[in-house]
Amino acid sequence: MQKRIRNVLLVVVCFLCIGCDSNAVYDVYKPVPNQWHKDSLASFTMQAPDTINSYNLFVNVRNTNDYKFSNLYLIVELNYPNGKTLKDTLEYKMAKPNGELLGTGFTDIKENKLWYKGYDQQFIFTEEGEYKVDIQHAMRENGSVNGVTNLEGITDIGFRVENALK
């Protein structure tokens, strides 16, 4: 009995240690119901943590084996409190050449932490106030002019802000 209690406590401590993430300043996910429509935005609103320190910004994507592409094109729009807008079209690799999906996870759901800002130069929130981030997919089939209307295999879209390591 005592060994069993010790094992349960060990498991609980492991989960607590894994769950603690001191670098995260903002980390929110939005579920994608069934399919991600091309006009559907995943929107995130947050307060600037400060205007002095550097931060890393990430787009987080959870996908299943139903995701049939080797890459992912996203349009990410960052709206500053004063009305300034930065709009980027980004491409992320989602699978190895053999088709195996990238990301972490033990089940059929893979989680991908994709760089948005901070990887090549420091990102600083230059203004106090509320920032808004809108994310939408911009996928197309090879040889097709029209975009994919309903993207399958994406279950959640997230946005994450971390303290940059010094």
Say if residue 74's pLDDT is above 80.
yes
The overall average pLDDT reported for the chain is 88
Question: Does residue 143 lie in a domain region?
Answer: yes
Distance CA(117)–CA(108), nearest Å, equals: 28
Question: Does residue 17 lie in a domain region?
Answer: no
Question: Does residue 58 lie in a domain region?
Answer: yes
Say if residue 77's pLDDT is above 90.
yes
Question: Does residue 100 lie in a domain region?
Answer: yes
Q: What is the mean pLDDT of residues 93-100?
A: 91
Domain count, the chain: 1
Question: Does residue 118 lie in a domain region?
Answer: yes
Q: What is the pTM of this model?
A: 0.83
Q: What is the mean pLDDT of residues 14-30?
A: 71
CATH number at residue 77: 2.60.120
Distance CA(16)–CA(21), nearest Å, equals: 10
Distance CA(13)–CA(33), nearest Å, equals: 34
| % of the chain surpassing 70 pLDDT | 87
- Specify the pLDDT at position 141: 85
Say if residue 165's pLDDT is above 80.
no
- pLDDT, one tens digit per residue, over 119-147 is 888 899 999 999 999 999 999 888 777 88
Sheet holding 154-163, edge to edge: 24-31, 154-163, 55-63, 110-117
Q: What is the mean pLDDT of residues 49-61?
A: 96
Say if residue 17's pLDDT is above 60.
no
Residue matched to tokens 């088709």:
99
Query: What Rg do the C-alpha atoms of the chain give, in angstroms?
Result: 18
Question: Does residue 115 lie in a domain region?
Answer: yes
The residue range of the domain holding 108 is 23-163
- Specify the pLDDT at position 75: 97
Question: Does residue 5 lie in a domain region?
Answer: no
Question: Does residue 123 lie in a domain region?
Answer: yes
